[in-house]
Homo-oligomer: A and B are copies of this chain.
């Protein structure tokens, strides 16, 4: 039974409220600018024919809001929350399940993952073969930035090193010129 080529679209959450002493991390929301820029990135992804079968999202508010914008913008028809996409969690077992022979949905072609930094860029680096020690520094994923990973053939064996990076997009490429520096942090 031939499986089709598969792709993962990694989408970092948009610009969120600053992390102040009094504010816990999990409930931080997207700012109005974050909502606006994220929505425009999602429109561009739809326009580039990068629609997905499903969005898997970190359960943290700023990620879930980003995933909900993806649904509202037509990037994908459904959303599932996945604790494995929360900060510091390990997403590899989740991906092994989705990319393996017992995938929850055997027919999927492209899956969107919404999450955080440095987790998402570390994941992308590992999947294309960067060793763990260097993976967190190998790629840069900006807020509302996008990476597209491809498996021209179904992965055999371990996932690290099995994928090819086809796209790495800071939002300004989709939105226009460089914007004033946004606050950093994941």
Residues of A within 8 A of B (CB): 47-49, 125, 128-131, 134-135, 137-140, 150, 161, 164-170, 172-174, 177-178
Contacts and interface: CB of A to CB of B under 8 A. Distances in A.
Contacts of A167: 168-170, 173
Contacts of A49: 177-178
A137 B169 CA distance: 19
Contacts of A135: 129
A166 B170 CA distance: 8
B172 A48 contact: yes
Given A129-B131, A138-B164, 15 more contacts: A48-B172, A49-B177, A128-B134, A128-B138, A128-B139, A129-B135, A129-B137, A134-B161, A139-B165, A140-B165, A140-B166, A165-B168, A166-B168, A169-B169, A173-B174
A45 to B, nearest CB: 10
A47 B177 CA distance: 7
30 contacts: A47-B177, A48-B173, A48-B177, A48-B178, A128-B130, A128-B134, A129-B130, A129-B131, A129-B134, A129-B135, A129-B138, A130-B130, A131-B131, A134-B161, A137-B164, A138-B164, A138-B165, A139-B164, A139-B166, A140-B150, A140-B166, A165-B165, A165-B168, A166-B168, A166-B170, A167-B169, A167-B173, A168-B168, A169-B169, A173-B174
